[in-house]
């Protein structure tokens, strides 16, 4: 099959790389290219890249760099304008080339499916912390542990295999959030300072701040990084007895969003009087991280519960809160080189293997482990 693959990410960029594979590469390039001097192009295998011109239309050419990999593989390096890239790819499609995504190309060319998955996931890595973990998996950390577990099963070392699988699954939450951000939701009564805290944490005005109760009627989200971990912050409508149907729906949505959160920040204004409503909010979100806001002001009357005292007017409170959030989300960050599953499919296969191991079903356990590394390959176990 003849294939054309855009290896660079979508969007405008300085350069783009288009890969061609298949028996028709030579004839297609000779048809579409001319030498920079305007002379006829002849395909030849050489280690030196060549500056050539691509036929865009009648008397219209685009200069690009050609690298010949072998007799059936070549790469074109051109300007990264998406329209230009699409025009070149479409030309090869008309010549019978099949368009293949870069993800499918990686999955097809990498022998180890775990290594391929890590390579694909690296494209979505938002921070160096995430990148370093995925690079460990790309380097074989996860794959090596799967091999160890399989070897243990083959030699009837059931306890070792079980321990390996439990260790891998202990990183499930961290792994699944490497490319999917943690959801951190700010809840609390109106005017507690939720919007101000969100803006303060991300460093710019994302949410509207207004002294009028009920200003935030719908949730506001913003993507950020907390101590190296990708996080999506949610500012929500203030929770109180609703004044109208619209506010009632907004408060119901707040509760739905909070129920899906990895962490809830319950924000209370410590400069106001402690009320029974505050107590009910704490009871509703028992696992929340309680934020006692506006510590720069005298505390209001009443017996205040424990919580994180802070003020958006005090600079040193910001890193303190960020560290506390990170500690809640990732109590024990993985050490360098740790094997970590990072897709729901990988976690599901590991759980299948663990269940089979606990029932001493070696065939099913090994089949589940091998399915992680090899796609659609029959497994024969002696």
Residue 26 and residue 70 in contact, taking contact as beta carbons nearer than 8 Å = no
pLDDT of residue 258: 94
For the chain, 382 residues long, the average pLDDT of each consecutive 10-residue run is: 92 90 96 91 91 90 94 95 95 96 93 95 93 97 98 97 98 96 95 92 64 57 94 91 77 92 96 91 94 94 89 94 97 97 97 97 97 65 40
pLDDT of residue 379: 41
Write down the H helix ranges in 203-359: 245-259, 276-284, 317-329, 344-358
Contacts of residue 364, Cβ cutoff 8 Å, sequence gap at least 6: 352, 353, 356
Three-state SS at 90: helix
* Per-residue H/E/C for 147-164: HHHHHHHHCCCHHHHHHH
Q: Give the number of residues written for the chain.
A: 382
Write down the H helix ranges in 63-140: 82-94, 102-109, 113-122, 128-138
pLDDT of residue 240: 80
Q: Which residue has the tokens 């494209």?
A: 123
pLDDT of residue 211: 52
Write down the H helix ranges in 226-265: 245-259
pLDDT of residue 244: 74
State the pTM of this model.
Answer: 0.84
Q: Report the distance separating Cα 215 and Cα 237, nearest Å.
A: 8
Q: E strand or H helix at 201, and its extent? A: helix 194-202
Residue 54 and residue 64 in contact, taking contact as beta carbons nearer than 8 Å = yes
Residue 180 and residue 200 in contact, taking contact as beta carbons nearer than 8 Å = no
């Amino acid at each position: 099959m003849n294939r054309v693959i855009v290896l660079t990410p979508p969007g405008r960029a300085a350069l783009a790389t288009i890969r061609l594979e298949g028996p028709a590469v030579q004839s297609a390039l000779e048809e579409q290219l001319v030498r920079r001097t305007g002379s006829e192009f002849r395909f030849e295998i050489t280690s030196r890249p060549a500056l050539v011109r691509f036929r865009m239309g009648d008397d219209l050419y685009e200069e690009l760099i050609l690298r010949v990999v072998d007799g059936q593989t070549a790469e074109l390096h051109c300007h990264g304008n998406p329209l230009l890239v699409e025009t070149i790819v479409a030309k090869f499609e008309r010549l019978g080339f099949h368009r293949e995504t870069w993800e499918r190309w990686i999955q097809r060319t990498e022998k180890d499916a775990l290594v391929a998955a890590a390579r694909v996931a690296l494209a979505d890595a938002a921070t160096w912390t995430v990148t370093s973990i995925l690079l460990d998996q790309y380097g074989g950390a996860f794959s090596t542990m799967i091999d160890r577990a399989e070897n243990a099963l083959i030699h009837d070392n059931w306890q070792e295999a079980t321990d390996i699988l439990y260790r891998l699954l202990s990183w499930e939450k961290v792994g699944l959030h490497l490319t999917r951000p943690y959801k951190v939701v700010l809840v609390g009564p109106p005017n507690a300072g939720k919007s101000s805290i969100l803006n303060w944490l991300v460093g710019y005005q994302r949410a509207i701040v207004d002294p009028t109760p009920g200003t935030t009627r719908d949730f506001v989200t913003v993507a950020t990084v907390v101590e190296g971990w990708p996080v999506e912050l949610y500012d929500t409508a203030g929770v109180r007895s609703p004044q109208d149907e619209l506010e009632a729906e907004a408060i119901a949505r707040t509760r739905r969003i909070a129920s899906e959160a990895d962490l809830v920040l319950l924000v209370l204004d410590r400069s106001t009087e402690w009320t029974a409503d505050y107590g009910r909010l704490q009871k509703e979100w028992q696992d929340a991280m309680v934020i006692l806001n506006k510590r720069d002001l005298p505390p209001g009357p009443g017996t205040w519960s424990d919580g994180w005292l802070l003020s958006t007017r005090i600079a040193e409170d910001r890193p303190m809160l960020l560290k506390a959030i990170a500690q809640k989300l990732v109590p024990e960050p993985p050490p360098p080189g740790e094997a970590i599953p990072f897709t729901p499919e990988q976690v599901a296969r590991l759980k299948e293997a663990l269940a089979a191991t606990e029932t001493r079903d070696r065939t099913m356990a090994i089949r589940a482990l091998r399915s992680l590394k090899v796609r659609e390959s029959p497994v024969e176990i002696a």
